[in-house]
Amino acid sequence: MNVFSRPSPEARGLGMTGQRARDRLIARLKEEGIADRRVLEVLARLPRHLFIEEALASRAYEDTALPIGQGQTISQPWVVARMTEALIEEKIPDKVLEIGTGSGYQAAVLAALCGNVYTVERIEELLRDARRRFRKLGIGNIRSKHDDGRIGWPEFAPYDAIMLTAAGESVDAALFAQLASDGVLVAPVGPAGAQRLLRYRRDGEQWKAQMLGHVSFVPLLGGVA
């Protein structure tokens, strides 16, 4: 996995994209309840400004979602941190499936912590840009696919963990079928304005959900674009 130990000058950034800006973000995340040291260290190192348009780079280390084109957003850092720590709380998963690559930022965070990340994106242009960023940062443990994320990526199942970065009314049964029996699934669920962040674990023959908070995500759409 890549831990961003030797970032290039571009990755390190200057001014509003430099380490001081990142440190201020990390301090705020701690104040907002993010406690997992491993997650905080990755967010402190990972150059979020490389995952958004250059015109928005000065806002990269604000704790806010930002547009990335195609009607999509890069998630608020607090949400990325909360979802990630919920995914790895009990153990570090070796194999993770992400539904909704977007900018690639969440996948890069997971790749710094987990063994292998498989990510699916329905919008080809976004996936192309994300792949370029992975190559630029030297991240070698991410595999990506242009496809309808609602059907997952059965070829490499079962997964130790699955994360959805877009919200549906429910989680498709096809995704639970690709989750290991002791796995964990983290997803925003519900309609716009009433979405909840849920963590699912197996309880006997059923998957039981734990409420982690209220969130706001773009909708999980089918098909490809």
Domains and CATH numbers, the chain: 65-215 (3.40.50.150)
- Angle among Cα 31, 35, 38 to the nearest 5 degrees reads 130
Q: Catalytic site residues?
A: 75
Q: 220: phi > 0 → left, psi -120 to 50 → alpha, else beta; which?
A: beta
Q: Per residue of the chain (225 residues), give pLDDT as tens.
A: 554 545 555 565 556 788 899 999 999 999 999 999 999 999 999 999 999 999 999 999 999 999 999 989 999 999 999 999 999 999 999 999 999 999 999 999 999 999 999 999 999 999 999 999 999 999 999 999 999 999 999 999 999 999 999 999 999 999 999 999 999 999 999 998 899 999 999 888 889 999 999 999 988 888 898
Query: pTM of the entire structure?
Result: 0.92
pLDDT digits over 42-101, tens only? Answer: 999 999 999 999 999 999 999 999 999 998 999 999 999 999 999 999 999 999 999 999
Report pLDDT for 219: 85
Cross-strand partners of 146 = 121
Report pLDDT for 5: 46
Cα dist. 218→74, 82, 195 in Å? 10, 17, 10
Report pLDDT for 9: 54
Report pLDDT for 203: 84
**Exposed, middle or buried by CB within 10 Å (0-12, 13-18, 19+), for 217?**
buried
Report pLDDT for 15: 63
Cis omega before residue 47 (within 30°)?
no
Query: Is 4 in a helix, a strand, or coil?
Result: coil
Report pLDDT for 12: 58
The Cα diameter of the chain in Å comes to: 52
H-run or E-run covering 52: none
